[in-house]
Amino acid sequence: MRVVASTRAPLGACVLAGLAALVGPLHGGITGELRHLLADRAVEADPAAAIAARLARGEQIPAFGHPLYPDGDPRAAALLSRTAPPPGARRLIEAMRATTGIAPNIDCALLVLEQRLRLPVGAAFAIFAVGRTVGWIAHALEQWREGGLIRPRAVYPGPWANG
């Protein structure tokens, strides 16, 4: 988003860049991944065993842990302290804590909120996006004020084509 803002693109384009990144399954798409996980019969039957099996295969458990909050996501803690998770989510959260010690992150808390309030499917993503939009606007305004074109550099690690 800052790269786009550094080109002096309009604010709408800057926000659109943020949304474009957010729809990826490794970012805002995590709530959908958790929704699928909670619907998995193996998770419903025995969350701890299902978690152990997934971890043994090298899979991540979506919506748990956060690199910026190694001791737990305070946003998730705040929401979950005010919104009781439905039984399936509660059992998964308890199993994750018991099995791995990893706490739920904001994606988990927003999906719990979506389910508890009986919001439409996808509302967790929308709430997250609205919250992030405020930050994107602030970043764009800051980038415009600071100025300077950002040109990310990368080194291509793959094979070189001949010709």
The CA distance from 106 to 92, in Å, is 15
154 in any annotated domain = no
Could you give phi then psi for residue 38, rounded to 5 degrees? -65, -25
Task: Determine the pLDDT at residue 163.
Answer: 52
The count of domains in the chain is 1
Q: What CATH number corresponds to the domain at position 94?
A: 1.10.230.10
163 in any annotated domain = no
Task: Determine the pLDDT at residue 95.
Answer: 96
The two structure tokens encoding residue 72: 């737990």
Task: Determine the pLDDT at residue 62.
Answer: 94
Other Cβ atoms less than 10 A from the Cβ of 157: the count is 5
Domain that holds residue 130: 2-8+16-146
Contact 107, 34 (CB under 8 A): yes
160 in any annotated domain = no
82 in any annotated domain = yes
158 in any annotated domain = no
Q: What is the chain's pLDDT, residue by residue, as a tens digit (163 residues)?
A: 899 999 999 999 999 999 998 988 777 789 999 999 999 999 999 999 999 999 999 999 999 999 999 999 999 999 999 999 999 999 999 999 999 999 999 999 999 999 999 999 999 999 999 999 999 999 999 999 998 899 888 888 888 766 5
Task: Determine the pLDDT at residue 113.
Answer: 96
